[in-house]
Amino acid sequence: MSYNEISNDEELRNLGLYKHKCLRCGYVWVSRKEHPLHCANPKCHSPYWNIERGQPRGPKKHKKEEDIIKKCYNQEGTER
């Protein structure tokens, strides 16, 4: 029985195998590791295989520019 014939993830887990998909290149592979470190695709091999591209990383750090603009102009938009 090959891995391609086993479609159910539960059956794979019973055998001690895990099915993974790289969110960067789309490669699908079966591994004995539950949380592999890299994508198994030799062309990709990304350590960020389980993180989609373009996800927001956190709050923007450009608040200083906005604060300067607010200090220069009051709320009506006129200069002080």
At residue 4 the predicted structure's pLDDT band, cuts being 50, 70 and 90, is: low
pLDDT digits (tens, 9 = 90+) for 42-65: 999 999 999 888 766 666 656 666
What is the DSSP code string of 39-75? -S-TTT--TTTTS-TT---SS-S-HHHHHHHHHHB-T
Which amino acid would we find at residue 70?
K
Residue 42 pLDDT: 93
Residue 62 pLDDT: 61
User: What pTM was estimated for this model as a whole?
Assistant: 0.57
Q: Residues 41, 24, 2, 10: is their CA dihedral positive or negative?
A: positive
pLDDT digits (tens, 9 = 90+) for 15-39: 888 899 999 999 999 999 989 999 9
